[in-house]
Amino acid sequence: MRMSEIVTLELPEHVVRSAQAVAARTNRRVEEVLVDWINQAATEVPIDSLSDEDQNELSDLLARNREGQRDNTDHARLDALMQVYRRGIVRKAQAWKVAAALGLRTALT
């Protein structure tokens, strides 16, 4: 069983420059930085990629949770959907922090 594959990609110049800067700061190879970025992107599902059905299900589960009318299956599904939502919130906060540090946005206070 093969654990990885070699893939050749043509990347935009700004992506390569960003990866080179991170690699230099962290004493790693550019390829390692890019693999980390791709792994992170592949495992994190953006909240806006949830289907309308998933978003409706989340709303329904939250309502049942408030009313104390959920079972173990509901609990597990609510946890899974909330985990996606929380990751999205954390990513937004990280993006605001970086944007503020770069002077692109004012810091939230």
Based on the fold, state whether residues 81 and 51 are members of the same structural domain.
Answer: yes
**78, pLDDT greater than 90:** no
State how far Cα 87 lies from the chain centre: 6
Give residue 23's pLDDT. 93
Give the closest residue to 7 by CA, choosing from 41, 35, 40.
35
For 82, the domain range is 46-109
Based on the fold, state whether residues 27 and 53 are members of the same structural domain.
Answer: no
Based on the fold, state whether residues 54 and 38 are members of the same structural domain.
Answer: no
Single pTM value for the model: 0.47
Based on the fold, state whether residues 38 and 52 are members of the same structural domain.
Answer: no
Based on the fold, state whether residues 74 and 106 are members of the same structural domain.
Answer: yes
State whether residue 51 is helix, strand or coil.
Answer: coil
Based on the fold, state whether residues 37 and 64 are members of the same structural domain.
Answer: no
Note the pLDDT tens digit of each residue in 6-55.
Answer: 889 899 999 999 999 999 999 999 999 999 888 877 766 665 666 778 78
Based on the fold, state whether residues 38 and 51 are members of the same structural domain.
Answer: no
Number of domains in the chain: 2
**1, pLDDT greater than 60:** no
